[in-house]
């Protein structure tokens, strides 16, 4: 009994220690989490199930399929925008371009911008926009598809994307950049309309890349 207690003390202590070190170096995992109980080798163990971005399927600027599988084994940054948006989108694209330029050619990092105005922003229109922005290759994916599906996907990234007659351009969306890790966990939300927000994101991408290097 005594030794069992001692053991559990050790485990708790270890737990605290690792908690400390993780809070220093690791980015948080965001979203709701569940504690699940399962049987492993006849023993009951509890585990934490973190929120994951659910599967999705859209079409990109080259009219090719783009899905959650496109980002398997990648860290990626996602945002929601539309081309004719006169307000925050140009700011967001200015900042996202800085992120793109910094991680250009890094095989572990991708960007995914969903348009919330698929009627106007068809693949050829997205392609022209990407080219004019100075984006080549497939590291930065622009996704379009059914409006309802995109709005639903917006919710899955914990951001707002919806129609709103009162908003300029008739569409309302958040100006956030969402950082997703290789396990599809959301690891950070950033203000995509400011330089400071993008700077913080770029710093956190470096931290996240370092996490994977340690493993």
Partner 1 sequence: MRKFSIGLVVVPLLLQTACQSQEELKQEKYFVEGYQLYTEHCANCHQTDGKGLEALYPPISGSDYLKNKEQIICLIRYGQNEPIVVNGRSFHRPMPANPQLTDIDVAEITTFLYNKWGGESVITDVKEVSKILDTCRVQRERAKVIN
Question: Whose Cβ is closer to partner 1: residue 94's or residue 162's?
Answer: 94
Q: Which residues are part of a known binding site for Cu cation?
A: 85, 89, 173
Q: Which residues are part of a known binding site?
A: 85, 89, 173
| # chain residues binding partner 1, by CB under 8 A | 13
- Per-residue buried b or exposed e for 137-176, using 16+ beta carbons within 10 Å of the residue's own CB: eebbbbbbbebeebbebbebbbbbbbeeeeeebebebbbb
Per-residue contact flags (x/-) with partner 1 for residues 67 to 106, judged by CB under 8 A: -------------------xxx-xx-xx--x---------
Bridge partners for 177 per DSSP: 190
- Report angle CA 118, 198, 50 to the nearest 5 degrees: 75
Question: Whose Cβ is closer to partner 1: residue 117's or residue 181's?
Answer: 117
Question: Whose Cβ is closer to partner 1: residue 29's or residue 88's?
Answer: 88
By CB under 8 A, is residue 131 in contact with partner 1?
yes
Distance linking the first and last C-alpha atoms of the chain: 36
By CB under 8 A, is residue 170 in contact with partner 1?
no
Nearest partner of 139 among 30, 60, 51, judged by Cα: 60
Rounded to whole angstroms, the Cα distance separating 73 from 97 reads: 22
CB of 130 to partner 1, least distance (A): 10
Question: Whose Cβ is closer to partner 1: residue 26's or residue 91's?
Answer: 91
Question: Whose Cβ is closer to partner 1: residue 106's or residue 136's?
Answer: 136
By CB under 8 A, is residue 202 in contact with partner 1?
no
CB of 174 to partner 1, least distance (A): 16
CB of 181 to partner 1, least distance (A): 29
- Report angle CA 196, 143, 49 to the nearest 5 degrees: 70
Kind of pairing, strands 176-180 and 171-173? unpaired
- Per-residue buried b or exposed e for 48-60, using 16+ beta carbons within 10 Å of the residue's own CB: eebbbbeebebbb
Kind of pairing, strands 33-40 and 43-50? antiparallel
Rounded to whole angstroms, the Cα distance separating 88 from 133 reads: 16
Of residues 82, 129, 157, 190, which one binds partner 1 by CB under 8 A?
A: 129
Of residues 28, 134, 170, 203, which one binds partner 1 by CB under 8 A?
A: 134
Give residues in contact with partner 1 (CB under 8 A). Answer: 86-88, 90-91, 93-94, 97, 129, 131-134
């Amino acid at each position: 009994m005594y030794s069992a207690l001692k053991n559990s003390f050790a485990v708790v202590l270890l737990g605290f220690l690792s908690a400390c070190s993780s809070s220093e170096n690791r980015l948080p995992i965001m979203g709701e989490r569940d504690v699940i109980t399962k049987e492993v080798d006849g023993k009951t163990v509890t585990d934490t199930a973190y929120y994951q971005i659910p599967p999705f399927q859209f079409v990109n600027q080259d009219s090719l399929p783009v899905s959650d599988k496109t980002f398997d084994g990648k860290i990626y940054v996602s945002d929601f925008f539309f081309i004719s948006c006169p307000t925050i989108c140009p700011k967001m694209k200015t900042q996202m371009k800085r992120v793109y330029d910094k991680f250009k050619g890094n095989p572990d990092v991708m960007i995914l911008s969903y348009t919330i105005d698929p009627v106007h922003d068809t693949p050829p229109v997205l392609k022209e926009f990407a080219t004019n922005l100075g984006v080549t290759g497939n590291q930065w994916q622009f996704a379009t598809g059914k409006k309802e599906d995109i709005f639903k996907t917006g919710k899955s990234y914990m951001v707002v994307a919806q129609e709103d007659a009162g908003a300029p351009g008739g569409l309302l969306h958040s100006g956030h950049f969402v950082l997703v890790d290789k396990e599809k966990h959301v690891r950070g939300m950033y203000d995509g309309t400011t330089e400071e927000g993008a700077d913080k994101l770029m710093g956190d991408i470096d931290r996240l890349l370092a996490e994977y290097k340690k493993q």
